[in-house]
Amino acid sequence: MATVRIKDHWREQRLFETRAVFATAFIVLLTMMLLARLYLLQVVRYDYYFDLSQGNRFRNEPIPAARGIIYDRNGEVIAGNRPAYQLELVPELVPDVKKTLQSLVAIQLIRAEDVDELLRTIRARRVFDSVPLRVRMDDEQVARFAVHSFEFPGVNINRRTTRWYPNGGLAVHALGYVSAISEQDLAHIDRAAYAGTALIGKLGVESAFEQQLHGVNGTREVLVNAQGRSVERQGVIVPKMRTKAPVAGDDVILSIDLKVQRVAEEALKGHRGAVVALDPNNGDVIALVSQPGFDPNEFADGITAADYRTLLADPDQPLFNRAIRGTYPPGSTVKPVLALAGLTYHLVNPEQHRVCAGVFYLPGVSRPWHEYHNEKHGYVDLDTAIVKSCDIYFYGLAETLGVDRIASFMGPFGFGKPTGIDISGEKAGILPSREWKAKNFKHPADQMWFPGETVNFGVGQGNLTVTPLQLAHYASMMATRGRNYVPRLVTGFRDPSGALHRIAPKYQGELKGIAPEDWERVHHGMVGVTGCGASGCGTAAGIGRAPYVFAGKTGTAQVFTVATNEKYEARKLDERLHDHSWFIAFAPADAPRIAVAVIQENGESGAHAAAPIARKVLDAYLLTPDGKVKPAPAETEPEAAVKPLDPAMAAPAQKQAEVPVLEVPRLHTTRQLRPPGAPAGRGSTRAQLQAALDHRRS
């Protein structure tokens, strides 16, 4: 029987060899791929993965730049920095952020009411950013955290600097304040630039010049352990770590004179109101006061929600900047500009006397307009009307001028528009006109302009409103005979190298079309307001004689309308319904160095409330400690010698020919009351008016 071979060894051998070749090739291929990958990782991308590996034990920690210091014009520190211990959290190193915050509340290191806001801020930050939880910690709080630190991975105490206001609330509404960066702030700032930064400017100069004050943050490498805490070494190895130094913010130089600011705030203390003092020769803000105020250190250190609610609920509104946001009727302080309008349009004869019998009527109108306190001044001319603040005279003058002339003449003096001061939040006030009324009222009956509204213009009532800053700016323009400078708080910067960069004043031009003798006459009347002369004693004569001659104008602004058949009796009214007290002034009258506007809310007569405050401000600025008038300051250094910091910050010096000219509008005049060829006022030449000023000075 033939043998049958079931197994083919030769075929199996060939199959095995084939498989072995393929397996060997596959193994060799995998080995080559592995070697190629190793070469890529270890050679080609060595630097990349080295940096990643270092990240497992190194952390880049931001070094916040020192915030720029703010000085007054004399070099006194208004806002500085001081060291502080700050509690911070790095989100990526914290297992449970919400639980960690609740645990910190339990040991009284953060407040329970702050947890929700902190959570929102943490979520808005990058996970590797260090987020401040508490801006300032005292020694007891630092010790308490040290005891519990092992319970809080990713939470550390770092040495930082925090904002410090050595004078408390002094000049706070000009200065503003800094506070913790909120979720809303993160929406409009460069988060990388603010990494590790706890505070940001919120109002005033601190906010408007945040970019210059903030500086540029640095970074440093920090060795960390598995829990994310910084350590000095790991084992015996002390690695070399890189550091990029921060660049401090620029110091800011203000125009504020803290001596004058202190006097103004002390004079207004206990009252609601505002004081603004300007240098009429360049627009510098010498003092900017709004009372009551608040202590910005509370915000810098982290104000509690309860304390903030208390500030918001205070009926006196300490957070409200009355100086640039408060709008009030200007009262009789507008009478000088109305007198100037009457003279310029030749619609008033300054020598002509009018009878003040205590009441004024429009032709065909039975409604009376009364003199303040129902006084009767008898026969008054323009000079006496300013000195005595005769309402009846200016009711008639306003009617003669008409609303169109008044609105167009007052506009170039800054009424009805912001002055352009270099901090935000300024209100424009209202300069009413036919066009304004048609635009701002819906019903046709309300859009009509009534003759009685023009009469109210004569005493600064009705819809006309101004801010204290606007009125100080107006007083400044009156002082310099129409020269218009934009008010400013910041006059320069000092960079970290110590170089000083000044900002040139912004000159807006000069009013043209007003005769020098008309300026002289109105100035003469305003000087008469502050003393006694041929027209009798002025409304502000009671504040006493000064070693210098100064011009002024009192004003009393009604808070509510008194019916024609009713009598205003302050003693029967709530204090907040009393009239507002105004006073504007500039001094010295012949070479003005300061212009002031003061309002005391519900202070009644301008002569008795606001005028004494203004006198203290003038004295503080103009007099030496022994009561003598300071010599006039030296001329400002030439702009060519000033190095501008930024073209957007510093206006370039302009040639005189390029300075804009503000023309006083010339409307059609139908009446000519000044006799042809007659001098500007009261039968006097300019030389005679100057002689009267000299006599007043002596």
Active site residues: 332
| Strand, coil or helix: 581 | strand
Structure tokens at 379: 């026969």
Q: What are phi and psi of 648, to 5 degrees?
A: -75, -20
| Strand, coil or helix: 173 | helix
| Strand, coil or helix: 154 | coil
Structure tokens at 446: 């309300």
d(CA 65, CA 251): 13
- Residue 80 to residues 178, 252, 695: CA-CA distances in angstroms? 11, 11, 49
Answer yes or no: are the C-beta atoms of 212 and 191 closer than 8 Å. no
d(CA 576, CA 559): 8
Any residues with CB less than 8 A from the CB of 254 and at least 6 apart, and which? Answer: 70, 71, 72, 73, 78, 174, 175, 205, 285, 489, 490, 491
Structure tokens at 640: 């060519």
Answer yes or no: are the C-beta atoms of 358 and 374 closer than 8 Å. yes
Answer yes or no: are the C-beta atoms of 577 and 569 closer than 8 Å. no
480-509 per-residue burial string, b: 16 or more CB within 10 A, e: under 16: bbbbbbbbbbbbbbbbbeeeebbbbbbbbb
| Tokens 């801020």, located at residue | 121
d(CA 320, CA 326): 8
